[in-house]
Amino acid sequence: MDLAQTETRPESRRATQRENEILEELRRSGGSSRIQHLADRLKVSEETIRRNLKSLAREGLVRRVHGGAHLPDARSEASFQQRVDENPDAKQRIAIKVAEIIEDGDSLFLDIGSTTSYIAQALQHRRELFVVTNSVSVAHTLAARNGNRVFMAGGELRAHDGGAFGVEAIEFVRRFQVEYAVLSAAAINATSGFMLFDLQEAEFSREIMRRAKTSIVAADSSKFDHRAPISVDAPTLVDMLVTDSAPPEELSAALTSWSVDVVVADSAVAAL
């Protein structure tokens, strides 16, 4: 490397104002985002975002993926089994509280979330439930039990979590109108509301929320004041948050402004 190359290299690492804005938006979005979202947020074209991401990727400041980008050190979502194993006591308490809300004979959607798998176990004592789900685990837990009717969304099952997603699953759930939609969240914050890491999961959640009289998010307090790349939907569409401890002040105020009822599970409950 000659002297001229050495002298110009530091300059190549200095991001432009727009590149800094992209990096900041990626941090605000939990470390990753889609190109369309970045373009909308920064009010520029998608092609402009692509050019800036290409420059940032050359410097190692971002990693490009199809349709988006993420920070090299961005926190990604753990595997499904890892999520099931996280905070089991809190998830059991939440599950028992949700099972107290659901009554015999009720109809409900249950999504693929790790907390939802605990909820399915807690619902095993309920009778004649009408359950629509995209989760093999939920379907297996509640089918052929106590007169329940369980409807499983079609489509290809994902290998890592046994969930059915895509056009077939969305078209399937559009056939139903139920009392409750019970869904998960990867992050909850006062700015963006309820968030997920997975676009397909978010699309499924939006669909079932629109086809239920009451939408319940079941999420433990470790999700508070964190971020993920994708907003589930407008937070005002959520009717109830069932969690294991009271949200912090700012988030609590936001939940109140969105008319979301916060239900805190009992601190001492029997094991499932």
Q: Is 0.85 surpassed by the pTM of this model?
A: no
CA–CA separation, 192 and 194 (whole Å) = 7
Diameter of the chain measured on Cα atoms: 79
Q: What is the pLDDT along the chain (272 residues), one digit of tens a residue?
A: 443 333 333 333 455 888 888 987 887 766 778 898 899 989 999 999 999 999 888 877 788 877 888 776 545 555 555 555 567 899 999 999 999 999 999 999 999 888 999 999 999 999 999 999 999 999 999 999 999 999 999 888 887 788 899 899 999 999 999 999 999 999 999 998 999 888 888 999 999 999 999 999 999 999 999 888 788 999 999 999 999 999 999 999 999 999 999 999 987 554 45
One-letter-per-residue 3-state SS of the chain: CCHHHHHHHHHHCCCCHHHHHHHHHHHHCCCEEEHHHHHHHHCCCHHHHHHHHHHHHHCCCCEEECCEEECCCCCCCCCHHHHHHCCHHHHHHHHHHHHHHCCCCCEEEECCCHHHHHHHHHHHHCCCCEEEECEHHHHHHHCCCCCCEEEECCCCECCCCCEECCHHHHHHHCCCCEEEEEECCCEEECCCEEEECCHHHHHHHHHHHCCEEEEEEECCHHHECCCCCEECCCHHHCCEEEECCCCCHHHHHHHHHCCCEEEECCCCCCCC
